[in-house]
Structure 1
Amino acid sequence: MNQPRIAIVGAGISGICMAVALQRAGFTDFTLYEKADDYGGTWRDNTYPGLVCDVPSRYYQFTFAMNPDWSQLYSTGPEIKNYLAGVARGHGLDRRTEFGTEVVGAEFEDTAWRVTTSTGAVERFDFVMCATGFLHHPNRPDIAGLDDFGGPVMHSARWDHEVDLTGKRVGVIGTGSTGTQLVSALAGQVPKVVMFQRTPQWILPTVNRAYSPVAKQVYRRVPALGNLAYYANRAIFAAFSQGLVHPGRIRSLIQWVVARNLQSVKDPELRRKLTPDYQAMCKRLVVSDRFYAAVQRPDVELVTESIDHVKEHGVVTADGQLHELDILVLATGFDSHAFMRPMAITGTDGRTLDQAWADGPRAFEGVMMPDFPNLFMLVGPHSPFANHPLTAVAEAQAFRIVSWLKRWRAGEFDSVAPTRAATDRYNARMRAAAPSTVWTTGCQSWYLGKDGIPELWPWSPGQYEKLIRRTPDPIDYRLDRRVASKK
């Protein structure tokens, strides 16, 4: 049986999912390239105190690798990282993974890709799968004097565990999920936490209960319960997603819940500072059972004045006040529009990825691009990743990619790419649907592109899965077949 040579770039959620999907479909000639030294992607890179996933554990997992032993309703970062590494090694992927090897370039020649790695090696592959994710390039804010700070400065995604927090005053810049988790974890553990807030966030309340030993044993003995929990959570998220993409009762209900949760902040002035001026879910909704309690502690200070500059001993805000600190943490997110970059990718007729994305990342159905044949993306542009588990997105996209590989193996084509016309139509439909989504209701977020239009799938995740699992329409693709070039 003819086997394509396949390169998978990245060994996080989507890379592991893709590799397992290939094996299950009988494709065995693949190499998984990972620039770091272990599996896990963002769950390997982020190790800051208080890191917890905001999707329930029993939904944030692969359907082909259900874990009965989750410790709590919302898993910690280390637990998810260990789960992903366990899935990878349990499926023998370590035999096909090159750690410490970054793919720096890929160039399409004839019907194959010429892939160059950081080691200087050059290999030819029939297909390249970009499983690089979108939350892996830390965003360092442009703040005057940041390099002048006398103590440790670290991004939340590059936590330095050699830094001793004992007795230290810690400043946290950023109020998204990471910032709220950090403040919740550090409050009461250090003498002083100062949170610098540019924009307040709506907080969805939850209770992160632990699973008892008995519950774990039951889940181990009755695997059907794990499946039931998975699909129950799926149904809940499907209902939740309706509020993201359509105005109506769900959106109003969530707004009521988060507004009521805010009332737990007793001090009227502090509550005013924590009240957003936009609709809930316009930014990624923060899920927390600890933040409001933490921010009301006497050893936690919320600063809403904008940062003017940083000095050796602290942060100076626009009102001229110096906030003295020993450690500064940047909970300032990522360059979420980078995707595969800085890889130098060149498709047909010398067209580069930077040229194709000069006006922002664009893709066809989240997995392919015109002019880049046999190049697939997982969790690429316009994927449904707003408060939705990327495990589910990756599984759906891997299904589509495997279906193309089966057609290649059957001899239907040597190379395939969507047409520009199909990609333009697809993106036009998404832009037309964007105004009904909550992301266009009046806030600034990393969801928005250069033109202010959300770069997300503007319908429900269920609709995306239905789309991505259907048979592709031949009119949307260009299939080339060059029998003489086949090995």
Structure 2
Amino acid sequence: MGGTWRENTYPGLTCDVPSHAYTYSFEPNPDWSRFLPPGPEVQGYFERTAKKYQVEEMIQFNQEIIRCEFKDGRWHLETKSGLTDVADFVIAATGVLHHPSFPKIKGLDTFQGDVLHSARWDHDIALDGRRIGVLGNGSTGVQIVSALAARAGKLTHFQRTAQWIFPVDNVAFSEEQKAALRNDRALLKSLQNEETYLANVERFTNAVLDANSPEILEIEAIARNNLEQSVTDPLLREKLRPTYRAACKRLIYSPDYYRAIQHPNAELVSDGIECIEPTGVRTQDGRLHELDLLVLATGFKADQFMRPMNVTGRNGLPLNEVWAKGPSAYLAVAIPDFPNFFMLNGPTGPVGNFSLIDIAEQQWGYIAQLMELVRKGECREVEARHEALQAYDIARKEAARKTVFGSGCSSWYLDAEGIPSTWPWSQRRFKEEMSAAKLDAYVLR
């Protein structure tokens, strides 16, 4: 249970979406501890919610799907343990970031200390007083450095590309505030749909959609001022200064990274890595950084989705063949030749700095409309048209090139052609698309 919050348990793990927005619409939570909640708290929320609504009773745990095949008008599923099932519909809610990506660095397998991927953390491995190296400086690397800089004997953060850091005050909610929310559901719901948050979502969306918008210039100014005002050493400040537009990569929210990297125990290394040796990391300037523990905050394979499970559509068509050049789906939900098969948070969906819970709920409402056609007997199969996907992809790519994601940096948002593979329009448009399915985009059989 819990997806990314199950797989990631590293020190400092924090959600970068405000807690009351990162909540199911039907299950507001008055007991969040902070504005940005810690990972274990999010995981606990999911577990409690599943138990409350008796979802656990419907789940087959520890079952790896190895085959998902459409034949004779239905989906046939098989798990690694031999369990089989037949279904009218399959909904892949496998997420995006769940297959860890390991760096291809010469000598990694020769390192004699401990090695941890951030998504496979071993809490039995000692941290305090040790020489720790962190590879990767996305949100995960930044959070780990912030959590461990004061605990390590020496912490070295290996930076390949500098990141823009957006300041945030991660305030704690008082017991009085939480009590007020428990006693006033209307107040709790108003906080969940807080106008300030929605306005920030709209502002951020406007910013990323137009690389020349006033909103992105404002975000850049705030991030730049954060760097200028937070880092005193001019040499370190220039190492930390990105050479690309703010929000071109996923914007990092942190209240304390700049403070952590200036800790006496911490060092930022921006020289490229030559190789890894048994006792540490050797950088291209010839220096050997001796380490006891190497942390790989190197992210995930963002193009996998439900793969490597074998998904086979109409007439034996393998999904791997359809996605040979890269994953795509109509409105991030449906794939031609895969009838009655839908996705939550599929390819080209909105994956910026906003709540994927909200996105998934909207997608579920859209999928439910399509399933209802079958339930009412209007058809047996619902399948996206090839023409609909083609038109969607052409329009999406044209719009994506104009976003700040396509303004000249390398990120996991980009597809094999270097085009941002995220939703390139407003959140309002996404909500409108999800509110009413356009049936002329589908074949109903």
Q: Same fold (TM over 0.5)?
A: yes
Which residue pairs with 1:309 in the alignment? Answer: 275
Give CA deviations for 1:284-319 in whole Å, capped at 9, x if unaligned.
000000000011112101000111111110000111
Amino acid at match of 1:228: S
Which residue pairs with 2:327 in the alignment? Answer: 361
In the aligned structure 1, how far is the partner of 2:399 from the partner of 2:291?
46
Which residue pairs with 2:317 in the alignment? Answer: 351
In the aligned structure 1, how far is the partner of 2:345 from the partner of 2:441?
20
Amino acid at match of 2:220: Q
| Paired residues for 1:15-414 under 5 Å | 39-231=1-193, 232=195, 233-246=197-210, 247-263=212-228, 264-414=230-380
In the aligned structure 1, how far is the partner of 2:234 from the partner of 2:167?
19
Which sits farther off after the overlay, 239-248 or 280-289? 239-248
In the aligned structure 2, how far is the partner of 1:420 from the partner of 1:153?
45
In the aligned structure 2, how far is the partner of 1:43 from the partner of 1:291?
21
Give CA deviations for 1:380-418 in whole Å, capped at 9, x if unaligned.
001111112100100000001111122211001111110
Q: TM-score, normalised by structure 2?
A: 0.98
Q: 1:459 aligns with which of 425, 428, 436?
A: 425
Helix, strand or coil for the counterpart of 1:345? Answer: strand
User: What is the CA distance between 1:466 and its match in structure 2?
Assistant: 0.9
Which residue pairs with 1:477 in the alignment? Answer: 442
In the aligned structure 2, how far is the partner of 1:121 from the partner of 1:392?
32
In the aligned structure 1, how far is the partner of 2:438 from the partner of 2:231?
53
Judge conservation of contact 2:271–2:283 (CA < 8 Å) in 1: yes
Amino acid at match of 2:325: D
Amino acid at match of 1:238: E
User: What is the CA distance between 1:465 and its match in structure 2?
Assistant: 1.1
User: What is the CA distance between 1:439 and its match in structure 2?
Assistant: 0.5
Give CA deviations for 1:4-54 in whole Å, capped at 9, x if unaligned.
xxxxxxxxxxxxxxxxxxxxxxxxxxxxxxxxxxx1011011000000011
Segments of 5+ residues of structure 2 without an aligned counterpart are none
Give CA deviations for 1:358-389 in whole Å, capped at 9, x if unaligned.
11011001111000001010000011111121
Which residue pairs with 1:29 in the alignment? Answer: none
In the aligned structure 1, how far is the partner of 2:439 from the partner of 2:432?
17
Amino acid at match of 1:475: D
In the aligned structure 1, how far is the partner of 2:172 from the partner of 2:189?
19
Give CA deviations for 1:127-174 in whole Å, capped at 9, x if unaligned.
101000001000000011101000110100000111011221000000
User: What is the CA distance between 1:109 and its match in structure 2?
Assistant: 0.7
Which sits farther off after the overlay, 400-409 or 415-424? 400-409
Judge conservation of contact 2:205–2:426 (CA < 8 Å) in 1: yes
Q: CA RMSD in A?
A: 0.8
Amino acid at match of 1:301: E
Give CA deviations for 1:88-142 in whole Å, capped at 9, x if unaligned.
1111011111111111110001211010111112211111010000010000000
In the aligned structure 1, how far is the partner of 2:187 from the partner of 2:97?
32
Segments of 5+ residues of structure 1 without an aligned counterpart are 1-38, 481-487
Helix, strand or coil for the counterpart of 2:350? Answer: coil
Amino acid at match of 1:141: P
Amino acid at match of 1:424: Q
Q: TM-score, normalised by structure 1?
A: 0.90
Judge conservation of contact 2:202–2:427 (CA < 8 Å) in 1: yes
In the aligned structure 1, how far is the partner of 2:141 from the partner of 2:279?
21
Judge conservation of contact 2:401–2:420 (CA < 8 Å) in 1: no
Q: Does 1:440 align with 2:402?
A: no
Judge conservation of contact 2:400–2:421 (CA < 8 Å) in 1: no
In the aligned structure 1, how far is the partner of 2:439 from the partner of 2:263?
60
In the aligned structure 1, how far is the partner of 2:355 from the partner of 2:108?
35
User: What is the CA distance between 1:474 and its match in structure 2?
Assistant: 2.6
User: What is the CA distance between 1:235 and its match in structure 2?
Assistant: 2.5
Helix, strand or coil for the counterpart of 2:275? Answer: strand
In the aligned structure 2, how far is the partner of 1:411 from the partner of 1:235?
42
Q: Which runs of 4+ in 1 moved over 6 A?
A: none
Judge conservation of contact 2:136–2:296 (CA < 8 Å) in 1: yes
